[in-house]
Every structure is written in C-alpha cells, then in structure tokens.
Copies of this chain bind each other. A is one copy, B any other.
Amino acid sequence: MDLHGSFHVYDTTLRDGAQQEGLNLSVADKLSIARQLDGLGVGYIEGGWPGSNPKDTEFFRRASQELELTHAKLAAFGATRRAGVRAADDPLVAALRDSGAGVVTLVAKSHDRHVELALRTTLEENLAMVRDTVTHLREEGQTVFLDAEHFFDGYRANRAYALEVLRTAAEAGAEVVALCDTNGGMLPDWVSDVVLDVIESTGARVGIHAHNDSGCAVANSLAAVAAGASHVQGCINGYGERTGNADLVTVVANLELKLDRSVLPQGLLKEATRIAHAVAEVTNVPPASRQPYVGTSAFAHKAGLHASAIKVDPDLYQHLDPLVVGNDMRLLVSDMAGRASIELKGKELGYDLSEDRELVTRVTDRVKQMEQGGYTFEAADASFELLLAEEVEGARPSYFDVESWRVITETRTDGEAVSEATVKLTAAGVRYVVTGEGNGPVNALDAALREAIGQAFPEVAKFELIDYKVRILDQGHGTDAITRVLIETSDGESSWVTVGVGANVIEASWGALVDGLTFGLRRQHR
C-alpha cells in the first residue's frame, strides 16, 4: 500500500529529541541533521521553537537561506497565544508566522488541570487561545498541525474537554490533531481505544506522539496507526527527554516491512542505517548497538550452534533481510567470520587476499588484537589500509621518520591558553626541526608536522584536518582511561579517516595525525 504523500512521517529530533539529557545541538548540528533526515525521506522536520531562544531563531534564519530540502517540509513548533492578548499581537506567535517554515505545529493544552495550573487560565480562554491562534496562522497562509499536549491523561481526567480542544482546532483549520502521550505512560491497547474514540467523536485527522516511559513507544505508535492515525511523530535513534521519543526509524521500518504501508519515498529505507549512524556522529551520543534494525548488533549472530543452517537459509535466523534497512548480517566469535570480512574489505581496497590464507590470518589476528586495545577500524578505513599495506608489502608505508615531538600548552598573561609544538623529523633525507603554534595542542602539532613535511612534499599544503573526535574508553578511570582519537583529513577532493589510541590524548592524536598525512601522501605517490 503506497501511502507516501498521504501519510505523515514527522520528525521532531531537532526539537523534542534535543530535550534529551546530554544532547546539545549547535545551529550547524541542526542543519546537518536536517539534511540527513531529508535524505531518509521524512515528510516533516520540526526545527525548533523560533523566538523562544536565540539558537532556534538562528536555526530558522539560516535554514531559510541555506537548507535545500528534497523530500521534507520544515515545521516550526510553538505555543498558542498567551491568555488575554490577540494572536496577532503575541510576539511568539509572530515568530512562528515569520519563521519561513510554512508549517506550524502548535502545542496546546488539552488536560483541564494543566490549563488551570500551568497556563493559569480558564478552560474557555484556553479554547479561545487555540481557536484564535490556529485561525490567525491559517489566515496568514500557514499549514497548522496541533500537538495536543498531555492528551491521554487529559482524556482520562475530562474526556469532553479534551475532545473539545481537538474539535476547536480542527474547526479553525488545523490539518492534523496529534495526540501527545507527553508523560509517556500509555500502553498500546489504551492508545488504540482513545484513537478510535477521537476519530469517531471529532472526525479530525489524527496523529500520534509517543514517549517510551513504559517501553512501548513504538508499539503505541503502531497501535495508533492501526486505529486510524495517519501522522506519526518520533525522533531518529529514539532521542528525547527522559526515556526518549518513539524511534522513528523503527516505527517506519515496522510500517513498511511488516505492515505493508509504504510511508517513505521508495528506496530510501535502505539508507536508514547509514543515516542513523551519521546523525549519531553529529549528536555525539554513542549509537546503541542493540537498536532495532540499525544497531550494529541488530543482525549479529553468535556463530557455532546454527552455522550450518544459517549457510543454507539465513532467513531462518533473522526476522528480515538486513539489507532492506542498509544493515548487514554479522557473524561473531567464529574466526571464519573475521577472516571473511577482512578478505572482503581487502578486495574493496584493491587487494586480492583470497590466495593467501596465512596473510589473512595475520591481518585478522592483528585487527582483533588492536581492537581489543581500543582501536576501531570500522570508521577508520585509511588506518586499516595502511595496516593492510604493511602486512602485504612487508613494511608500513612511510614518507618521513619522526625523531621526537613536544607540545607545550600554557596560559598567556591575558589568561587565555596557547599551544606550541616542536617536531623533529627527517623527510627525503633532510632533517627538519619545526615549531608550530595553535589554539590547542593538536592544532599546534598538526601545524608543525605539516610545515616540516611540506618542505619535502609540497602537496601536503592542500591537506586539511576537517574533523577531530575524541572518545574516552573505559570510563570510570578518570584521566587514566584509554583515549581514542579519530581524525578526518581532506585533500579538497575526498577525505579519509584515521585512528589513534593511547593513554595520553596527545599521543593518540599524534598517531592519527601521522596516519592521516601518510595515507594522503601514499595516494599521491602510488
């Protein structure tokens, strides 16, 4: 059943997802995530609450200039007008109207006690606030969705009033009334009953906004859809306040793959794994390996017991083919699994390893040992290629010999800190001693290293360090822990990622920097 276009897949990562503890998104982060979500083909991207804080205001300003979306429409989130003022006179309503998004998702109270205690106004005035704000925004050409906050609790407390809020919004021109399980305590059967009643009682188009406090956010979303909802809100990777919002990818994958409802543009679901991981890189919240569909463990099998049957028919051991969500089956523990993927990876990089079993064993063992020590090669293709080249060619590719390095970070008299690095190395037969400065120790080391090497290999001038990530492994040991650094280097045309590991963060960074330059030079000189 192709529902794309008629069914709303509505992402609220940039607004409700950003409420997650420990998740802080800059404006640049938000723009980058919006592009990823558009690549997944969601219908709506809720960008934030313009006017409520400088960051969200800035996001909408930049989005209207920089953000080109293919599939998604941008939505601005905000509240109904304040009590006792005209909608047109409320500056926060004006910020919604003028955000440039074209779609406004208005949050309204639908629980009588919340109206009285949180809004401190009357039930009648709250209805007027809904009516006026929707009417005003519709007159100004906006599409309006209503988020009925605390709807399920409100429905229990005062069904007639909760329904009246929805009816008021729908009559004023709201296209969708989304029922929010704001506290996240619902169970699927309850959601189903309420959605059925709302549709029968109001005739409105219904949406669902679920949180995971009872561990049922996905099932609650599906129950709402089964009962007639045609608009589902959620967040990629299930981000969100407390226990998180419904994981939008899981909901969509269940709808498309299990319930035969195509809600994304055709062919985009297979981007899900890549996009979920890319967004996790931006949020810097480590991706959950056990996440349904897209987790790195989601299709990982302990080999052994059933290995022979898996070979005959993998479908007997997985609920669906992982490729449909862009994930992959992995076999764990078994040495065969490791070897096979090393061989495959080698092939990808232009090395045919199929004839040399001993070499494959050597590389597999070394990778396992290094990963045990904190390395990761999943993201660091360039470091893996250097390792492979070392084993195949007998020596690690090398264009310079480092004698020593040192970096000093100290306070200036004005209190700010500056870094200065000295690198001693030999390149193309000449010894260089170079000092570089930077606003941080790694920056300074990078500057010194590239200046020294640049005298022998001028092409490094166009190399640029474009991303730098630090992860502390083995948390709980404070600064004693092992540090892993990933560095992305670009030559203006393409980029590559290298990894370094060490008890000392500077040492780990140095390893990744040296690999990054070596890999770049190797490309030029092959």
A residues contacting B by CB (< 8 A) are: 18-22, 24, 26, 28-29, 32, 52-55, 79, 111, 113-114, 117-118, 150, 153, 182-185, 187-189, 212-220, 222-223, 226, 238, 241-244, 247, 250-251, 253-254, 258-259, 281-282, 284, 286, 288-293, 295, 297-303, 305-306, 308-309, 312-313, 316-320, 332, 334-336, 368, 371-372, 376, 378-379, 402, 404-411, 416-419, 438-443, 446, 464-481, 483, 487-488, 502-507, 510
Contact = CB atoms under 8 A, between A and B. Distances in A.
Given A409-B504, A418-B504, A468-B481, A290 B244 contact: yes
A100 to B, nearest CB: 21
A22 B273 CA distance: 21
A58 to B, nearest CB: 9
Contacts of A471: 284, 470
A215, A334, A402, A468: most-surrounded residue (chain B CB, <10 A)? A215
A505 B292 contact: no
Given A214-B254, A441-B504, 18 more contacts: A21-B302, A22-B378, A26-B473, A28-B475, A54-B372, A79-B305, A118-B312, A187-B222, A215-B218, A216-B219, A242-B301, A243-B290, A243-B291, A404-B410, A417-B506, A441-B441, A441-B505, A469-B472
Contact of A316 (B118, B299, B376, B503): B118
A219 B222 CA distance: 11
A479 B446 contact: yes
A319 B183 contact: yes
A74 B114 CA distance: 48
Copies per assembly: 2
A411 B288 CA distance: 36
Given A292-B213, A467-B478, A409 B507 contact: yes
Contacts of A250: 214-215
Contacts of A213: 292-293, 298, 319
Nearest to A217: B215
A47 to B, nearest CB: 14
A286 to B, nearest CB: 7
Given A19-B302, A54-B368, A308-B118, A504 B212 contact: no
A316 B214 contact: no
A376 B22 CA distance: 8
B478 A286 contact: no
A214 B118 contact: no
A291 B111 CA distance: 27
A235 B303 CA distance: 17
A504 B474 contact: no
Contacts of A407: 408-410
A151 to B, nearest CB: 13
20 contacts: A20-B297, A54-B372, A55-B372, A117-B309, A118-B309, A150-B316, A183-B317, A183-B318, A188-B219, A189-B226, A212-B290, A212-B292, A213-B293, A242-B290, A242-B298, A243-B298, A417-B504, A442-B479, A468-B475, A468-B478
A15 to B, nearest CB: 10
A333 B323 CA distance: 41
Contacts of A405: 410-411
A420 to B, nearest CB: 10
Contacts of A28: 474-476
CB-based closest 7 A-B pairs = A185-B319, A219-B219, A118-B309, A406-B410, A417-B507, A215-B218, A465-B478
